[in-house]
Amino acid sequence: MNCEMSIMDGYEAPRRICEAVAKAPYNEHIPIIALTAHDEGHDVKAAGMNFHLTRPLTESQLLQVMNLLSSKGDM
């Protein structure tokens, strides 16, 4: 999730995703990774995101987060 999207920012979008999933009959968790150019200090957990990465990021950083999510059963 890019935190600096122009029309709907990356904090509002995951809130809406989480609201929609909560209302769905299957109610399955969707992991969301925040991605921003700088650490803004926003509470990504409150927005429904699982992790926060700062650009520029490396492939290994992304893979590490994905591995953490998959090992927790969130993927």
Q: According to the model, what pLDDT value does residue 61 have?
A: 92
The residue type found at 60 is S
Query: Does residue 74 have a pLDDT over 70?
Result: no
Q: Which domain holds residue 28?
A: 12-71
Query: Does residue 14 have a pLDDT over 80?
Result: yes
Phi and psi, residue 36, nearest 5°: -145, 160
Q: Is residue 23 part of a domain?
A: yes
Structurally, the chain folds into a number of domains equal to 1
pTM for this prediction: 0.68
Residues 6+ away with beta carbon under 8 Å from 17: 30, 32, 48
Query: Does residue 2 have a pLDDT over 70?
Result: yes
Query: Does residue 12 have a pLDDT over 60?
Result: yes
Q: Is residue 6 part of a domain?
A: no
Q: Is residue 3 part of a domain?
A: no
Q: For 24-65, what is each residue's pLDDT tens digit?
A: 887 677 788 888 776 665 677 767 788 888 888 899 999 999
